[in-house]
Structure 1
Amino acid sequence: MVVTVALDTSALMMPVESDVRLFEELERLVGGSEVRCTSDPSGDTPRGIECVVPRAVCEELSKLSDGASEEAVAASVGADLATERCRVVEHEASYADDVLVELAPEFDYVVTNDGPLKERLLDAGAPVIHIRGRNKLAISKP
């Protein structure tokens, strides 16, 4: 079985900003399944964790990555993670938070460190993975 996890901008910036080992933490939290990309050339039954990123999140990371600030570096790393380790999904809405809330029922979890987005997702009935403590993730359920 595949566990589908959507990542927002703040989640993809966590490895630099908060020293979170994002994919290892996801493995720990959702049962030790391997985090993988969606394409499995073996043809085996898909298993593990599929990370999904809306195109609007990629665009937000691209805008934030201009410059040499710590935020820009974190956004650049996040953009690389999004394209290398996640499946990018298209959606007609352009605001990343709105896309995540609208698509939340399609995902098993949404990862964010954005307080207002976390509340919107919980209100919409979506389980949220967020930072807890220094560099660990935790799950909040509606």
Structure 2
Amino acid sequence: MANTPLCLDTHTLIDYLKAREPGASAVEKAVKEYNCCVTSITVYELLFGVARAKQEIGEHALLGVMTILPFDDAVAKRAATLHAELISQNQDIGIKDVFIAATCLEQAMPILTANEKHCRPATTTVT
């Protein structure tokens, strides 16, 4: 299973970094069992949170071993369609979560999340 990709979302990584359960254990298990990835949006959210808190963490070892999935033209197109669809269904999940969901959908990759309500409408698999 170590070759099977799995995207870790921002909420789950924050739980891991703050040693909050069940997210911390879920990330530890995922790193052992999957080829874990993060989106460039998640990297932004983590770095922004650190900057706002006026902290410096450097390059976290966990992020250093993960593939970072880019926000490219294909993801942008998927995100635009997905966001419009969600808004028309009165299920807007917020633009950053739309970007993360669209990245996972474009890569056909499941996502490990601590925020299921934001992933379920996007039809991204919640692991």
TM-score normalised by length of structure 2: 0.61
Match of 1:50 among 35, 39, 60: 35
| 1:128 and 2:108 matched | no
Q: What is the Cα deviation at residue 115 of structure 1?
A: 3.7
Q: Which residue of 2 aligns with 1:87?
A: 67
Q: Which structure 1 residue ranges, 5 or more long, are not aligned? A: 28-33, 36-48, 130-142
**CA shift in 2, pair 1:64/1:103, >3 Å:** same
Q: Which consecutive segments of 4 or more residues in structure 1 shift more than 3 A?
A: 92-96
Any idea what the Cα deviations from partners look like across 1:59-116, whole Å, max 9, x if unmatched? Answer: 1111111326xxx79xx59x72553221112114594312222132324420111243
TM-score normalised by length of structure 1: 0.55
Report which of the two has the higher share of helix. 2
Q: Which residue of 1 aligns with 2:117?
A: 116
Q: Which residue of 2 aligns with 1:3?
A: 4
Aligned partner of residue 4 in structure 2, secondary structure: strand
Q: Which residue of 2 aligns with 1:18?
A: 20
1: distance between equivalents of 2:29 and 2:104?
20
| Count of matched residue pairs | 101
User: What percent identity do the matched residue pairs reach?
Assistant: 14
Contact 1:82 1:88 in 2 (8 A): no
For 1:3, give the aligned amino acid.
T
**CA shift in 2, pair 1:4/1:55, >3 Å:** same
Contact 2:39 2:71 in 1 (8 A): yes
Report which of the two has the higher share of strand. 1
Contact 2:110 2:125 in 1 (8 A): yes
Match of 1:65 among 41, 50, 75: 50
Q: Which structure 2 residue ranges, 5 or more long, are not aligned? A: 80-94
CA RMSD of aligned residues (A): 3.0
2: distance between equivalents of 1:58 and 1:6?
12
Aligned partner of residue 65 in structure 1, secondary structure: helix
2: distance between equivalents of 1:81 and 1:11?
16
